[in-house]
Amino acid sequence: MSDSFVDGFILNLTPHFSPDQLRIIQDALSVYTLGYEISPIKTEIITCEYQLPQEYYIYMASKAQDGRMSDKSKDQYRMCLEDMLFFLHTPLGKITVNHIRLYLQSISVNKKTGKKLSVETLNQRKSIIKSFFKWLYEEEYIDKDPSVRIKREKSHSRPRTEYADTDIEQIRAACESIRDEAIVDLLASSGIRVSECVGLDRGDIDLDKRELTVYGKGGKWRTAYIDARAVVSLRKYIASRTDECEALFVSKRAPHKRISTSAVRKCLHGLSAGSGVDGIIPHRFRHTMATSAINRGMPIESVQMLLGHSEIETTLRYAHVSNEKVKNDFKKYSR
């Protein structure tokens, strides 16, 4: 009963804590409750303990086996679906669209802070739920998919803009170390994700060929490319290293260990004041590379491969075609 108590307790904390924080809390509770017998208070009301359906475990196993989910995505799927299933407390075959709407309404506002859930987070939850019920229907576990009528929310946020050439120069000028400059040049020229950047080893990069072997999202390998400036910066940085760590980017202080994604974000955020460029985040370099490539005439399919996207629709959200290119293309292809 202790394990069930801990699991239920953690699920109630899901909207308020990160996956890492929840793991720490769960581990602490599991240790503290060892040797204790926890059981519900008996009243005249008959209590029953909800068990997650077997189909849920089969679904999660199938997602893990297809090799397309990162550990972070698995945690997001697990937390979202378990939270929904415990909330609804209803057999899968009897869940209707109104049940799902009721659950989404319950999470739309953070009970602790009173703040509304962001459109992006709500859409992410909807996507996970729709994926689950679509799979249940296709595998014939349920007769009807109740999530078909669940629609995505329209985002009112402004589209993320790319860096101008002058922005990149100002960011580079604000770098106080060879390492930070190499990170900026690598992200700006290759368009790889920050997680892919920190995951690189020295052996993954061929400076003569200007190529990177990247282990990307969903456990897929691909080749990315860098420009001459990034080659110069990386050569300079690698030559300055005296440690034996295999990671391409390491901490500045000994013992030198692989740098984390949070450390890169913190580093770039710190460059905002010195550079005068607001909102310096790793992902914006990715938008910049995609937009620059498209506006210089690179086919969208090639940009898709460079970014490591499974769907070309995702690539289209990254690349912002300039009005000048649209004008020139119109002249080129019109009669």
Per-position b or e across 120-131, b if 16+ CB within 10 A of its CB: eebbebbbbbbe
Strand order in the sheet with 211-215: 205-206, 211-215, 221-225
Q: On the CB side of 280, how many CA atoms lie within 13 Å of its CA?
A: 27
From the candidates 63, 126, 179, 217, give the one annotated as an active-site residue.
Answer: 217
Q: Give the pLDDT confidence score for residue 46 in this predicted structure.
A: 42
Q: Which residues contact 246 (CB under 8 A, 6 or more apart)?
A: 201, 202, 203
Query: Which position has the token pair 């390491």?
Result: 250
Q: What is the mean pLDDT of residues 309-326?
A: 73
pLDDT at position 120 is 81
pLDDT category at 43 given cuts 50, 70, 90 is very low
Give the number of C-alpha atoms closer than 13 A to the C-alpha of residue 158, restricted to the C-beta side: 3
Nearest to 225 by CA among 246, 196, 205: 205
pLDDT at res. 45: 44
Which is catalytic among the residues 63, 284, 287, 309? 309
318 part of the active site: yes
Q: Which entry of 193, 237, 284, 287 is annotated as an active-site residue?
A: 193
Q: Please give the helix or strand (H or E) that residue 214 lies within, else none.
A: strand 211-215
Q: Report the 10 Å Cβ neighbour count for 187.
A: 25
Instruction: Pick the more confident residue, 88 or 153.
Output: 88
**What would the mean pLDDT of 283-303 be, rounded to a whole number?**
88
- The tokens describing 85, both together, are 């299933």
Active site residue 193: yes
Selected catalytic residue, list 99, 210, 258, 283: 283
Task: Among 37-41, 114-118, 173-177, 232-236, name the one with the lowest average pLDDT.
Answer: 37-41
Instruction: Check residues 190 and 26 and name the one with the higher pLDDT.
Output: 190
Average pLDDT, the chain: 84
Q: Is the pLDDT of residue 333 over 70?
A: no
Q: How far apart are CA 231 and CA 97, in angstroms?
A: 54
**Is-catalytic flag, 309?**
yes
* 329 compared with 281, residue with greater pLDDT: 281
Which segments of 39-161 does DSSP mark as H helices, in order?
A: 54-65, 71-88, 97-107, 119-138
- The residue annotated as part of the active site, out of 126, 284, 286, 287, is 286
286 is catalytic: yes
Q: Which of 3-7, 49-53, 227-231, 300-304 has the lowest mean pLDDT?
A: 3-7
How high is the pLDDT of residue 199?
A: 93
**pLDDT-based confidence at residue 171 (cuts at 50, 70, 90):** very high
What pLDDT is stored for residue 317 in this prediction? 75
Q: Are 82 and 52 in contact (CB under 8 A)?
A: yes
Calculated CA dihedral for residues 52, 70, 318, 284, nearest 10 degrees: 120
Q: In the structure, what pLDDT confidence band is assigned to residue 196 with cuts at 50, 70 and 90? A: very high
The closest of 249, 262, 266, 268 to 167, measured between CA atoms, is 268
Q: Which residues on adjacent β-strands are paired with residue 116?
A: 109
Verify whether residue 283 is a known catalytic residue: yes
Token match 């595998």: residue? 139
